[in-house]
């Protein structure tokens, strides 16, 4: 079964809609609305319930992409909304897990520091997002983080307390964090490449009205 790019219809000419009202976008918004629920459950030490919410968060991230590809539901809004929801969700989950002393400090640092560097770089070079396509590494990174975070949470729950799950869970989480750093380096490199390409065409990368969204290779 194909996991990355699941639902892709080979040879199909997809339509990109200029509207918010697509099923994947609605799923994305509903998914992000689960984040406050997770925070509340984590703060009240309802760890099993918080684990379930994180599993749903990760599952719906895969589902909205599958719906978009399988049923031709791509949109210009979805191109930035889904990655933004993913990044914010992961960052908030990381801060919450570290704040309640469930995950180690390196988890949140490895997420927030690269994201801050990318945000500053985008603001300086493009006065906004460079709107680059999400890579396979970025997709795998998100998937691994959304597996590692629930595992760390479950390892601290009473149902698994005292077992050897914590080192395993933290190893998965560390792998996701390493991928996050590598994906950030790749994104930074591609952003600078896009800026150079635009300047070579006589276009100021900060003049967003003059360049087409998305990276051209």
pLDDT of residue 24: 87
Tell me how far the alpha carbon of residue 65 is from its chain's centroid. Answer: 12
CB distance 208 to 163 below 8 Å: no
Unique residue bearing structure tokens 């979805």: 78
Mean pLDDT for all residues in the chain: 84
pLDDT band at 164 (very low <50, low <70, confident <90, very high): confident
pLDDT at position 186, please? 95
Sequence-distant (≥ 6) Cβ neighbours of residue 98 within 8 angstroms:
104, 105, 107, 108
Tallying the residues shown for the chain, one arrives at 217
- Residue that wins the pLDDT comparison between 12 and 143: 143
Over residues 172-192, the mean pLDDT reads 94
- The C-alpha atoms of residue 121 and residue 116 are separated, in whole angstroms, by 8
In whole angstroms, what is the distance from residue 87 CA to residue 50 CA?
19
**Contact predicate 74/64, CB 8 Å:** no
- pTM value surpassing 0.85: no
Q: What is the mean pLDDT of residues 165-192?
A: 93
- Going from the C-alpha of 97 to that of each of 3, 52, 113, 144, the distances in angstroms are 27, 15, 17, 16
Out of 53-57, 104-108, 136-140, 157-161, which region has the weakest mean confidence (pLDDT)?
157-161
Give the C-alpha separation, 15 to 12, whole Å: 9
Average pLDDT over residues 129-154: 86
Task: Give the contacts of 129 (CB within 8 A, at least 6 positions apart).
Answer: 80, 122
- As a whole number, mean pLDDT of residues 111-131 equals 89
Question: Which of 16-25, 33-42, 85-94 is most confident?
Answer: 33-42
Percentage, residues of the chain above pLDDT 90: 37
Query: Does pLDDT of 66 surpass 50?
Result: yes
One-character DSSP codes across 66-101 = HHHHHTT--BHHHHHHHHHHHHHHHHHHHHHHHHTT
The lowest-confidence range among 37-51, 131-145, 167-181 is: 131-145
Which position has the token pair 């539901």? 73
Six-digit token pair at 211?
Answer: 């360049």
């Amino acid at each position: 079964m194909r996991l990355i790019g699941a639902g892709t219809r080979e040879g199909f000419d997809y339509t990109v809609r200029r509207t918010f009202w697509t099923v994947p976008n609605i799923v994305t918004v509903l998914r992000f609305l689960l984040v406050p629920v997770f925070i509340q459950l984590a703060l009240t030490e309802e760890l099993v319930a918080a684990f379930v919410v994180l599993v749903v968060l990760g599952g719906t991230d895969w589902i909205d992409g599958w719906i978009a590809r399988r049923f031709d539901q791509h949109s210009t809004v979805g191109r930035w909304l889904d990655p933004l929801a993913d990044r914010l969700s992961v960052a908030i989950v990381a801060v919450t897990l570290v704040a309640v002393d469930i995950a180690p400090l390196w988890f949140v640092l490895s997420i927030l520091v690269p994201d801050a560097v990318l945000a500053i770089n985008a603001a300086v070079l493009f006065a906004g997002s460079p709107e680059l396509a999400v890579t396979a590494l970025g997709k795998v990174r998100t998937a691994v983080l959304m597996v590692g975070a629930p595992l760390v949470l479950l390892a601290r729950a009473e149902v698994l307390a005292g077992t050897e799950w914590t080192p395993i869970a933290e190893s998965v989480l560390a792998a996701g964090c390493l991928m996050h750093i590598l994906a950030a380096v790749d994104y930074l490199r591609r952003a600078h490449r896009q800026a150079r390409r635009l300047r070579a065409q006589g276009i100021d990368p900060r003049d967003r009205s003059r360049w087409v969204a998305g990276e051209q290779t």
